[in-house]
Amino acid sequence: MVPPSSTAASGVLESVFHRLVSRRARVRDVEPVGGSFRLVTLEGDDLQGHRWVPGDMIQIGFAGFLGRAYTPLSFDAGAGALSFLGHVHGDGIASRWLASARPGEELYLVGPRAAIDLEAVTRPLVFFGDETSFGTAAALGATRERTRDVVSFFEVDSAEASRLALERVGVTTGLTLAVRSAEDRHLERVEDEVVSALRSAPNARCVFTGKASSIQRLYKAARRAGLSSRQVKNVAYWAPGRRGFSGVQR
């Protein structure tokens, strides 16, 4: 057994720590999707019977007491199984693991635990994110209201790969993909479209996820469009140069 949390670099202390605070799980399946995505299914007795709200995250444990957050698309509490869509974006510890993860591997994780309560978000809804948010968008489909009256905007590197990944996790309607461009010019269009969607539905809610600077920009645009801070949920998933965001809500 070589879980990400107990490679040769980690010690007995770390292993005891993970056993105390984490749940043990096993990789059941890893499906490469659209080149840079992995649809990962984890299972384990420790996951059975646990409560899950769409939008919750898990944190996978890695050597050095590191945790990396992912958003289950679905959770089967009876079987003790969950799936998430991981984006392989570079050489961070989780990206490296995702790129080489194999069925049968064991790991430790914390959660599912609160990140965004998608059940509590009323419609109409404007959702924004990027490649790290596809799982969250898919989890919207598991809410009582499902994807009724939801429009989604994603900033992405590759429209083609992203479409494949989104289709694979069942996100196929009401979405706009904006391919990243120099100096974030693509966000001008997204900002305009988000503002125009909000002007026609002033009682809308927003959920903004993904890159910290992008969601900050959209948050300001939503406030300028007249939304109150209570109507907008921001959860930064990552920021250039910063490692391992944990999903603090603002």
Point out which residues bind ligand FAD (CB under 6 A).
57, 68-71, 84-87, 89-90, 92-95, 115, 131-132, 135, 235, 237-247
* Choice between 131 and 191, CB closer to ligand FAD: 131
Residue least distant from ligand FAD (Cβ)? 92
Q: How many angstroms separate the CA atoms of 66 and 86, rounded?
A: 17
Given the DSSP bridges, would you call strands 37-43 and 66-70 parallel, antiparallel or unpaired?
unpaired
* Choice between 175 and 225, CB closer to ligand FAD: 175
* Choice between 67 and 80, CB closer to ligand FAD: 67
128 contacts 152 by C-beta, under 8 angstroms: yes
Q: How many CB atoms lie within 10 A of CB 146?
A: 12
Q: How far is the CB of 232 from ligand FAD (least distance, A)?
A: 16
Q: How far is the CB of 80 from ligand FAD (least distance, A)?
A: 19
Q: How far is the CB of 139 from ligand FAD (least distance, A)?
A: 9
* Choice between 174 and 244, CB closer to ligand FAD: 244
* Choice between 71 and 143, CB closer to ligand FAD: 71
Give me 176's structure tokens.
Answer: 């706009």
Q: How far is the CB of 72 from ligand FAD (least distance, A)?
A: 8
Q: How many angstroms separate the CA atoms of 107 and 225, rounded?
A: 45
Q: Is the peptide bond before 112 cis (omega within 30 degrees of 0)?
A: yes
Q: How far is the CB of 134 from ligand FAD (least distance, A)?
A: 7
39 contacts 83 by C-beta, under 8 angstroms: yes
Q: How many angstroms separate the CA atoms of 113 and 56, rounded?
A: 5
What are φ and ψ of residue 231, in 5° steps?
Answer: -85, -10
Q: How far is CA 248 from its chain centroid?
A: 13
* Choice between 138 and 225, CB closer to ligand FAD: 138
Q: How far is the CB of 203 from ligand FAD (least distance, A)?
A: 26
**Of 245, 222, 249, 218, the residue nearest 235 (C-alpha):** 249
